[in-house]
Amino acid sequence: MLRRLLPLVALLAPAAPGAAQPPSRMPADAPARYHPMPPLRVQADQMQEWVAARLDRVLPALMEEYDVDMWILSMREYGEDPVFWSIVSPTTFAARRRSIYLFTRREDGTVERLALGGTSQGGLFETYRSPRPAPTGEQAELWGDEQWRLLNEIVTDRDPSNIVLNIDDTWAFADGLGAGEREALEAALGERYLERVRREPRLATDYIATRVPEMMPRYREVMETVHAIISEAFSNSVITPGETTTEDVVWWLRQKVNDLGMTAWFQPSVSVQRAGDVPTAGEVVIERGDLLWTDFGVVAQRLSTDTQHLGYVLREGETEVPAGLRACMRASNRMQEIQLEEMTPGRTGNEALRAAQRRMAAEGIEGTLYSHPIGDHGHGAGPLIGRWDAQEGVPGRGDAVIRPSTWYSIELQATVPIPEWDGRTASCRQEEEAYLDENGDRHWVLRRQEVFHLVW
């Protein structure tokens, strides 16, 4: 399998020297800083370059790898295929009345990109208009039978030996063809070409999952901003022990993200663990001696993050985190190292899970692993490496292969008895972004948390 991945590595080299940055060497205790979002127009220009790079370099390589002659995506407004957001311009917010995209592999390895309906997406696609004039005097948009007739003409002219449609019962990313849309598309193809239709979910999932190096510098800045937000949230700037509640911090996080021009892709979580019992209902007031935890994910320039960090509220007279909790974080840090080391390209997610679990058992570490891909989506396309409720492995999604040029959230928890809590256990839950570069080498996007955020 690794040999099959090698041609893609060469094609994913950045378009310009220096576009990708080397792995971060930021010290674990260095303060994170905020990176302001650039103006919207600058963001859009950068995102357009990313889409073009993926269509130019990633898609042809994948169509060759999986021997795909033609790929057809068909959708209507508000019923977009998951792939849609990875192939269109940042100024496009929905499909048109109907958008049909045809990708045809040429003999020279390049891919013809046609749009039947909608726009050229800033020159990314060759677009077809209707020969009918609109009342304004311009050409009308393709629609209805006119659209389907043209599709049949193009397919007949290109005469592909196989056609991939996005239909799959395992991967949502490769199952974007709606039921009604499928009926209309199959009727337009006709019996001759319907016989050539096959399912290849890896084309959609691997295209969505594959990153180009040009994305990393911006993603690293977003990640440092996320670290800075959490650091401020878990500080005396936001938390007053005995007064501030966990919900107060949740809504502070939401507001902060909004103020910075980003969005959250899920409602943040903030909770506490402590030596005594924690209320199971209502808002929890944060007290001294609490172990803090947050799960927090943002979206900036269509790039998703997913981060879990730990904090501690010092008791009166304390100047550092109790030794037992520090040992808990060391255990989860060690799990992070093991997990990342076992994510070898060519392995499946389930194989990486089992290999990491064997090493955890040998080192006497108790915990659970549930890492996932990230990128265009928070829970992204690609192999799952466990689930919190499926430590035996994940059939289907865990059987996908780990590939170079992909990003992951290394998500896990270590369960450790805390002597200062009379032996009561703490769950040190951490989540940090990592990536496999074009050669399959593994790195942290920014750094992983190794010291607690502190509230004094």
Q: What is the pLDDT of residues 75-105, one digit of tens each?
A: 999 999 999 999 999 999 999 999 999 999 9
Residue 2, pLDDT above cutoff 60: no
Q: What is the mean pLDDT of the chain?
A: 93
Give pLDDT, residue 27. Answer: 61
Q: Are residues 185 and 219 in the same domain?
A: no
Q: Are residues 16 and 92 in the same domain?
A: no
Lowest mean pLDDT among 100-114, 274-288, 303-317, 434-448: 274-288
Percent of the chain exceeding pLDDT 70 equals 93
Cα first-last separation, the chain: 52
- Sheet containing strand 303-304, strands side by side: 263-264, 298-300, 303-304
Please give the average per-residue pLDDT across 411-415, as a whole number: 98
Confirm whether 434 is domain-assigned: yes
The string of pLDDT tens digits covering residues 201-233 is: 999 999 999 999 999 999 999 999 999 999 999
Confirm whether 144 is domain-assigned: yes
Q: Are residues 182 and 232 in the same domain?
A: no
What tokens does 149 get? 């007739």
Lowest mean pLDDT among 11-25, 103-117, 245-259, 336-350: 11-25
How many domains would you assign to the chain? 2
Q: Are residues 252 and 394 in the same domain?
A: yes
Residues 6 or more apart in contact with residue 237 via CB below 8 angstroms = none
Please give the average per-residue pLDDT across 19-41, as a whole number: 72
Q: Are residues 169 and 298 in the same domain?
A: no
Going by their DSSP bridges, the two strands 372-374 and 406-417 should be labelled as antiparallel
CA 45: distance to chain centroid?
21
Domain holding 350, by residue range, is: 2-22+213-455
Confirm whether 225 is domain-assigned: yes
Give pLDDT, residue 276. Answer: 92
Please give the average per-residue pLDDT across 58-72, as a whole number: 98
Q: Are residues 446 and 322 in the same domain?
A: yes
Give the confidence band of 143 by pLDDT, cuts at 50, 70, 90. confident
Q: Are residues 331 and 393 in the same domain?
A: yes
Give pLDDT, residue 214. Answer: 97
The domain that contains 257 carries what CATH number?
A: 3.90.230.10
Inter-axis angle of helices 323-341 and 349-362, nearest 10: 140
Last residue of a domain, one of 172, 199, 226: 199
CB atoms under 10 Å from CB of 37, counted, come to 17
Q: 20 and 213 in contact (C-beta within 8 Å)?
A: yes
* Rounded Cα–Cα distance for residues 455 and 314 (Å): 6
Q: Are residues 231 and 314 in the same domain?
A: yes
Residue 63, pLDDT above cutoff 70: yes
Please give the average per-residue pLDDT across 413-420, as a whole number: 98
What tokens does 453 get? 């955020």
CA 261: distance to chain centroid?
19
Last residue of a domain, one of 199, 223, 246: 199
More confident: 31 or 77: 77
Q: 310 and 269 in contact (C-beta within 8 Å)?
A: no
> If we measure between CA atoms, which residue out of 96, 148, 144 comes closest to residue 120?
96
Give the confidence band of 12 by pLDDT, cuts at 50, 70, 90. low
Q: Are residues 326 and 184 in the same domain?
A: no
Confirm whether 38 is domain-assigned: no
Instruction: Please give the torsion angle defined by the CA atoms of residues 199, 201, 202 and 204, in that order, rounded to the nearest 10 degrees.
Output: 110
Residue 9, pLDDT above cutoff 60: no
Give pLDDT, residue 13. Answer: 52
Give pLDDT, residue 26. Answer: 56
Lowest mean pLDDT among 122-131, 431-440, 447-456: 122-131
Confirm whether 52 is domain-assigned: no
Give the confidence band of 22 by pLDDT, cuts at 50, 70, 90. very low
Residues 6 or more apart in contact with residue 393 via CB below 8 angstroms = 350, 353, 354, 386
Percent of the chain exceeding pLDDT 90 equals 88
* Rounded Cα–Cα distance for residues 330 and 386 (Å): 21
The domain that contains 181 carries what CATH number?
A: 3.40.350
Please give the average per-residue pLDDT across 101-128, as a whole number: 95
Give pLDDT, residue 31. Answer: 83
Q: Are residues 322 and 380 in the same domain?
A: yes
The string of pLDDT tens digits covering residues 159-185 is: 999 999 999 999 999 999 999 999 999
Q: Are residues 424 and 400 in the same domain?
A: yes
Please give the average per-residue pLDDT across 133-156, as a whole number: 86
Confirm whether 286 is domain-assigned: yes
Q: Are residues 329 and 451 in the same domain?
A: yes
Please give the average per-residue pLDDT across 334-354, as a whole number: 98
Give pLDDT, residue 39. Answer: 97
Lowest mean pLDDT among 141-145, 214-218, 325-329, 342-346: 141-145
- pTM of this prediction? 0.92
Confirm whether 58 is domain-assigned: no
* Rounded Cα–Cα distance for residues 149 and 336 (Å): 54
Residue 7, pLDDT above cutoff 80: no
Last residue of a domain, one of 199, 222, 239: 199
Task: Give the number of C-alpha atoms closer than 13 A to the C-alpha of residue 352, restricted to the C-beta side.
Answer: 32
- DSSP assignment of 282-314: SPPBP-TTPEEEEEE-EEETTEE--EEEEEEEP
* Rounded Cα–Cα distance for residues 328 and 333 (Å): 9
Confirm whether 37 is domain-assigned: no
Residue 376, pLDDT above cutoff 50: yes
